[in-house]
Structure 1
Amino acid sequence: MLSKPFEKPLRVWVGLGFPRQLNTVVDAYQFAIDWCGNSPEQKAAIRACKAALVGDVEAETARGVFAAFARKKDILVEDGAIPPAIGKAQPSHHR
C-alpha cells in the first residue's frame, strides 16, 4: 500500500477557515476517515481512496471522488474562494 500523489493537490477548509493541503491519496483518506459524519459522499471518498491505495483505481479517480465529497460539504477550496464561515456570515443589524 503506497501513498500515491495527486497530480494537483486538493485544498480543504478546516477549523475556522484555514486551508489544509492534501497531496496524496493517504492524506485524503485520513481526512475522510477523521471527518465527522457518515454521508454517502464521505463513504464513497473513503472507498475510492482505499481502492487507489491497493491499486484498483488511479489516484486521480480517488481525487475526483474526494473532491465531490468536499464540494458537497462546502469545504473544498476553489480558486479565489473565501472560507465558508466568512462567506456565509450575515451582517448583524442589532444595536
Structure 2
Amino acid sequence: MAMVSKPFEKPIRVWVGLGFPRQLNTVTDAYQFSVDWCGNSPEQKAAIRACKAALVGDIDAETARGVFVAFARRKDILVEDGEFPHVAGKSHATYA
C-alpha cells in the first residue's frame, strides 16, 4: 500500500535544540521527528508505530497525532498552547 502523508487538523509544535519550537504539520513530519529523536522509550516506539500505521492508512492522522502528542508531552518537548520559547527552568536540548 502506498504511503501518503496526511496533514493534521492542528499542527503539533515541539521544542528542539535550545528552546526553539518546530512545527509538525503532517504524519510524515511527526514520523521523521520520532525516528530522529535520541532515545528508545516505549512512548517513542508507540509514536513511530502510530505514524507508520497512519501513513499506510491503517489508522487516521488524528489518532497518530494523539499518540505523538502523548510522546511529546511525556518527554516535556510539547509546546503547549500559549507557551513561549524562553520558559524558565525547562531544558529542551535532548533533540539531536
Q: TM-score range by the shorter chain?
A: 0.7 to 0.9
How far 1:51 sits from its partner (Å)?
Answer: 0.2
Residue 89 of structure 2 aligns with which residue? 88
Residue 38 of structure 1 aligns with which residue? 40
More contact order relative to length (CA 8 Å, sep ≥ 6):
2
Q: Give 2:13's match in structure 1, choosing from 5, 8, 11.
A: 11
- Unaligned stretches of 5+ residues in structure 2: 91-96
Greater Rg by CA: 1
Q: When the two structures are superposed, what TM-score results if normalisation uses the length of structure 2?
A: 0.87
Identity level (%): 82
- Unaligned stretches of 5+ residues in structure 1: 90-95
Residue 23 of structure 2 aligns with which residue? 21
Residue 68 of structure 1 aligns with which residue? 70
* Alignment size in residue pairs: 88
Larger helix share, 1 or 2: 1
How far 1:88 sits from its partner (Å)?
Answer: 1.1
Distance 2:59 2:52 in 1: 9
CA RMSD of aligned residues (A): 1.3
Q: Which runs of 4+ in 1 moved over 4 A?
A: none
